[in-house]
Amino acid sequence: MIGQFLILNALVTFVAALPAIIPRASTCNGRAELCGRSYGNTTFLMSHDSYAISNNPVILSRNQAVDLTAQMNLGVRALQAQSHMKDGALHFCHTSCDLFDGGLVVNYLKTVKSFMDSHPNDVFTFLFTNPENASPKNVWAPLFEQAGLASLAYVPPHLPMKASEWPTLGQMIQSGKRLVVFMDYNSNTAEVPYILPEFDHIWEPPFNSIDSSFPCRVDRISGPLSSQDHMFMINHNLDVKVFPFRQAKREANPGFWDSITSAIGGAIEDTKNTIENGINQGKDTLSEVLIPDLIHLPITNGVPSILADSNGCAPFSGGKATSFVMLDFVDVGQGMKAVDILNGFR
């Protein structure tokens, strides 16, 4: 009897000393099949200017109509945002914080952290624009720490990583490192190893397209890897030219003006100063202003247009599908359906 007790006690002690067994995810980003898929060979839905949220049509500098949580509930797992300093703190703002202030970056990060906690089997991506060269170590990293995201961020074993070298979604989820962070400029992996240089890993075609066929070429890329060893994203955001109001003539684009006037009535005149102060996304001159083409948005965000854009860029990337489909107004169209098709699901 004493011998049996000693054996049982030893067994209990041995089992208690074993490391906890973490169950493997049965689904990854909503699909069992994606658990064995490399991150570098997976397509994600991305929200363009994910912080620039308003359902007010007068605010022409907006890019999304539903809040951050709603975007992620629609299937968005990659989030793009542009940063600017305001009153000594980092905000997400559209060109300038006077034009559109999306709030403090730390609050944005906390919202994503909360969503990630409720979706433990999903991999997420940030693509942050850093035009003012805010310090990764002194500005960005403390915000990731405050939000509780630094411990979830993936650090590659070497840099740069070929698209074929990334771990599977299942491996990333299993390790707990299921957030990938890219920054366009002034990343410093020696100081903050999880904020990765975007263009060493992802190439981009031109942005601010006003051509609905989205002609493709390798526009922004860096580092030693070929375009075929990079991932790539499609900037699937169709814009329309608007001239400053003092120069605009109705006959220049009657369809556009009729639809806008019908939608917001006389309030369009109230946006004159906002537009003439720099609503132009990516251009310095006021000889033309670019805003999202809301008229054709259902077509732009439709499956045929998205697939054609990805297919048009595929020859520059060894025939691979795009890794990121970046859209304005993700609640319009069939963005997630197109992403499923690009991932091989019909």
Calpha distance 293→313 (Å, rounded) = 22
Q: Which candidate in 84, 94, 230, 236 is catalytic?
A: 94
Is 119 part of the annotated catalytic residue set?
A: no
Is 158 part of the annotated catalytic residue set?
A: no
Can you list the positions of beta strands (E) in the chain?
44-47, 78-86, 89-94, 96-104, 124-129, 179-183, 195-197, 202-203, 231-235, 239-242, 289-292, 324-327
What values do phi and psi take at 114, rounded to 5? -60, -40
Q: How many other C-beta atoms are found inside a 10 Å radius of the C-beta of residue 5?
A: 9
Q: Which residues contact 42 (CB under 8 A, 6 or more apart)?
A: 29, 34, 169, 323, 343
Calpha distance 310→329 (Å, rounded) = 19
Residue 196 tokens, joined: 């990765």
Which residues belong to the active site? 48, 94
